[in-house]
Amino acid sequence: MAKKRTRQGKTGPGRGRRGRWRRWVVLGLVALSLATLLYILYLDRIVQARFEGQRWAVPAKVYGRSLDLYPGAPVTPEHLKQTLDGLGYRRVKHPDRPGNYSSYRGRFLLRTRAFRFPDIHRSSDYLEVLFDGQGVSSLKRAASGDPVGHYRIEPRLIGSLTSAHGEDRILLKREQLPELLVNALIAVEDRQFYRHIGIDPIAIGRALWANLQANRVVQGGSTLTQQLVKNFFLSAERTLWRKFNEVLMALILDLRYHKDEILGAYANEIYLGQQGGKAIHGFALASRFYFNRPLQELGLPRLAMLVTLVRGPSAYDPRRHPQKAKQRRDLVLRLMVDQGVISQRQAAQASQAPLGVEQGRLRASGSPAFMDLVRRQLRRDYPEEGLNAGGLRIFSTLDPWLQERAEQALSRQLGELESARDLPHGTLQGALTLADVATGEVTALVGDRNPEFAGFNRALDAVRPVGSLIKPAIYLSALSQPRHYHLFSPLEDRPIRIKGANGEIWAPRNYDSRHHDSVSLEQALVESLNLATVRLGLSVGLESVIDTLHELGIHRPVEPFPSMLLGAVSLSPLEMTQMYQTLANGGYSARLKSIRDVTDAQGEPLSRYPLAIESTSDTRAVYLLRHALSEVTRSGTAKALQWLLPGEVAVAGKTGTTDKLRDSWFAGFDRRRVAVVWVGRDDNAPTGLTGSSGAMRVWAELMNAIGVAPLLEEPPTGVEVLTIDPATGLLGEGCPQATGYPFIVGSAPTAEAPCAVRDSHLDTGIRWLQGLFRY
């Protein structure tokens, strides 16, 4: 018994320690398991919260203006062709699928794409369009021959309002992905995708063994699910802890969600390129970025190129590294053959195809400046986060065809002006705005001679002295007082000295330093005579002129100093466009706008920006002013337009030049469009250019490129056209140089020029009676 007790005494304490150690191990394992379980639950909550909520901050997409086709539409074959090419349509012999067209001798056959407009979802159509010398002569359905009264070509995607993270994407559902793309992706990146549990242990082991043998990373073992987790949930740091989280979250994702849902998310998340500060995510946007086509229209060679970019969009960028990209694309094709996705013959044909990349097609012409205007106008109605993340669809007023010609006109003319004056390239800068006369829709806007520059937007922010561009407001103020002024009212064009409040003397001069004793009101505007203009402005009153400026759409405060009468007022090109839009539209002001409609991501309408026109000025007085502005382009400071434009087309406009030739301006309009051009230097140094020798050259090139719609001078009610002898300003029926001039009824002179054929007693009596009931 004693011996037994001794053995127990020796072994008892050791066994107790081992027991306690085992209990601690068990407790530790239980605690670790519990902690792991809790951590997995924590990761599960993160996965669900992100994956079931709003997955991506999708910036608002901005579309350009639709091209309207109808019999009689002023559209040329070149215009339609460039529109279709800009949309990524393919020219083929026989258009058999959406996005294809053929053209031959003024006959177009095109299969349009389905598109959801703000007011209607339109399916694909097969159309025949015929042209004559005037525009569209016939529009009908090609299959049935049924006439079509009106048709909208789908608008071009011109850009997006980049999110706070600098990401951009076009979202697609899994069923919208081409099956060939899906099969290629799986064949190259994750052959066991539909069979593994989110991770592929065999692939991980194979990659580990290959990397160990090579003593460097030569192969990856991540599944598509792991790649999605890494890009969607985790940071880019390379640590074991991040890899551990990646594995756990991939298992959770695969357990909770269907494979197709995971694949769809991957297709929208994957990073595939970079455009400046904007990251290109997802296959849909990458298809637009590289090929200027919807993903659904891509063939095998281009789909294989997109799969190539998954491995490294920078290393295999087809624009920067075409040879390397082609080698990788051909490898993708061989892997597709190995997995039975395509045949050897299909791969051979695809490998012979070019990469098919189009340069810079995501950037609409001049989009940075115009997109700036869109964003500013949207901020009035939507919070910033809604613009950056809500996936809104913005239907803008920009016409890509007009925009391209506006850019070319500004860039080319500035280069020619520099060459003619031996100025270093880049010395001159400029801005151009183009708007629809009737609606105020801004159809083109250029804020820099380099239209891709996204910095200082001169069209909106170059607030410069406008010079003589302000003069029409002065003359309109006078003509709105028909008891006192008409186009032949005599004005003094003599020197004047005005003492300011500070005691300084302001003594303006005419441009040529000459002066005249007396000139007609129209002649003073046509020849842009400063002295006569100042005297007229002082006569009608500075406050009256300021009121007229406000009526014409200028909302910036203007100080009532006499120097304002000669353009010592700083305004932007866009503001001047608003003023001249009102004049071009007969005194009806339509607030300039860059947006037509806004819908949500699903296409449901949110906001409409309808046409809003306000009668702000006396239409009779505006008509008289327009007559004078037309004469400016025939015999005045803009008479060079008579040979810069084709034929003797009827347009109207006004030149503007500031002190020491620092700023060159021209504002002009035809029946459909109004455009304002500014040319100057950013350092405010003299340019050596007047309004006619600088900005007007840009304006003329633009109008030549887009076509001039001559003004139609139809007097409004309350205006009569009388035959006047220009030498005397009196009634001149029968005089050798007599011409018809408009007058507000009751304001015309009653006396006859000496050369006039005498009226009958009846005519004289009628005019005498009209005088009794003036105004």
The residues annotated as belonging to the active site are 189, 468
Rounded Cα distance, 433 and 574, in Å: 6
Closest by CA to 392, choosing from 169, 107, 599, is 599
d(CA 409, CA 673): 16
User: Counting beta carbons within 10 angstroms of the beta carbon of residue 321, is it exposed (0 to 12), middle (13 to 18) or buried (19 or more)?
Assistant: middle
What residues are paired with 742 via a beta bridge? 721
Enter the DSSP assignment of 654.
Answer: E
3-state secondary structure of 282: coil
Beta bridge partners of 58: 390
- In Å, what is the CA distance from 730 to each residue of 83, 486, 621, 740, 770? 53, 12, 20, 11, 17
Closest CA to 747 of 482, 507, 527: 482
Count of Cβ atoms closer than 10 Å to residue 428 Cβ: 24
Helix (H) or strand (E) holding 665: strand 664-669
Q: Answer whether 742's CB lies under 8 Å from 627's CB.
A: yes
| Amino acid at position 138, single letter | S
Burial of 528 from C-beta contacts in 10 A (0-12 / 13-18 / 19+): buried
Q: Cα 728–729–735 angle (5° rounding)?
A: 65
Return the structure tokens found at 547. Answer: 């009121």
Amino acid identity, position 717:
T
- For the CA atoms of 367, 368, 370, 372, what is the dihedral angle to 10 degrees? 150
Burial (Cβ within 10 Å: 0-12, 13-18, ≥19) of residue 602: exposed
**Contact present, 711 and 608 (Cβ < 8 Å):** no
Alpha helices in 585-640 (DSSP H): 619-635
The label of the residue with tokens 């395509």 reads: 342
Among residues 602, 119, 58, 62, which one has the least CA distance to residue 376? Answer: 62
Contact residues for 514 (Cβ-Cβ < 8 A; gap 6+): none
Sign of the CA dihedral with 72 first, then 653, 459, and 621 last: negative
Q: CA 28, CA 156: separation in Å to the nearest integer?
A: 63
CB 581 within 8 A of CB 589: yes
Distance in Å from the first CA to the final CA of the chain? 142
